[in-house]
Amino acid sequence: MTQDCKIDVRFYPPPPELHDCFTSIYRLELTVAPGARLCDWLQPEWGNLRIFSGDVPAAQMDGGPLLDDARISITGPSAVSARFELGTTRMWGIGFLPLGWARLIGRPAAAHANMLADAERHPAFARFAPLLGIFADPPDDAAEYARIVAALQPFDRPVADAARIRAVHAAMVELGLATVAEFAARAGMTVRTLERICRRHFGFPPKLLLRRQRFMRSLAAWMLGGMGRWTPAIDELYTDQAHFNRDFHAFMGMSPSTYAALPHPILSAFMEQRARTWGSAAQTLDRPGTVHDAAA
């Protein structure tokens, strides 16, 4: 396994009519030595479609089966890490916000939580297989992006819970949100309704979503802060280092020190570029319906 590589990442805004459906549409060009592969770990995130031209990843959700031959992979919303190995490739990714999952996927998010699957072979997602035809020769970001948008637009459907999804998402990303009762109050609904909306459209119960937000704020701060000491990055809602360590094990399947000792060539490049151009380092930290004007 090598970490010598060339990584080029670009993030593109969703089209205006789908701006509240996607975190972003992003393109990766990865170049490594012939036969070499990089290793990295995906962090907890919202659902994603990833389409590959070139090497395809060998990937595995923590505790899940290995997927090593998918040209188009789909992940559900996750609360665990995913280890992957990847060689020279060109990839497009589509990150679904919870409202986007509801509008374009149209299936209960909880039923697909922590899922990693081959979209071509999965009966619920095979309709996305035509996305494999997006790649241009020679590569052309603008043309490929246009094909992605054209392929996705027919799947957009109205959702009865749209206003509630937006309200829950807007409340969830607020800083200092510590309890489910406070979460429900800020979202303007009962705890029972919040539980239903969170499980169906966000994939997890509200208590776990709050834990994931707290954890991802800490992990993003650490990665953008030079990946040195953990203490300055730990969110204020953690009671102490041991509290953070327990969450780290739960979400990443390892200790903070183990994670810090590993190389993160792809994720660090993604998060740095994302924070610079998008304003947030991770999908889970995106606010719903944010409109971005330019790619970078």
User: Could you tell me the CA-to-CA distances from 29 to 11, 86, 146, 209 in Å, in that order?
Assistant: 12, 11, 18, 32
Q: Are residues 53 and 148 in the same domain?
A: yes
Could you list the mean pLDDT of each consecutive 10-residue stretch along the chain, which spans 296 residues? 80 93 95 96 98 98 96 98 98 98 98 98 96 93 97 97 98 96 98 99 99 97 90 95 98 97 92 85 83 50
Of 141, 159, 177, which residue constitutes the final position of a domain? 159
CATH number, residue 212:
1.10.10.60
Q: Are residues 33 and 119 in the same domain?
A: yes
Residue 277 lies in a domain: no
Of 106, 129, 159, which residue constitutes the final position of a domain? 159
| Residue with the two structure tokens 């009762």 | 181
Tens-digit pLDDT profile for residues 269-291: 988 888 888 778 888 999 886 65
Of 159, 180, 202, which residue constitutes the final position of a domain? 159
Q: Are residues 111 and 252 in the same domain?
A: no
Q: Tell me which residue of 202, 206, 8 sits closest to 90, measured CA to CA.
A: 8
Question: Distance (Å, rounded) from C-alpha 37 to C-alpha 21?
Answer: 32
Task: State the pLDDT at residue 136.
Answer: 83
Q: Are residues 172 and 152 in the same domain?
A: no
Count, in order, helices (H) and strands (E) of the chain.
9, 10
Task: State the pLDDT at residue 291.
Answer: 52
DSSP E strands: which ranges in the chain? 6-12, 22-31, 38-42, 48-54, 58-61, 66-67, 72-75, 82-86, 89-96, 116-118
User: Could you tell me the CA-to-CA distances from 80 to 46, 83, 185 in Å, in that order?
Assistant: 11, 10, 28
Residue 83 lies in a domain: yes
Q: Are residues 153 and 180 in the same domain?
A: no
Neighbours of 135 (CB within 10 A): 18
Residue 192 lies in a domain: yes
Residue 239 belongs to what domain range?
162-261
Into how many domains does the chain fold? 2
Tens-digit pLDDT profile for residues 2-50: 467 999 999 999 999 999 999 989 999 999 999 999 999 999 999 999 9
Is the bond into 130 cis (omega within 30 degrees of 0)? no
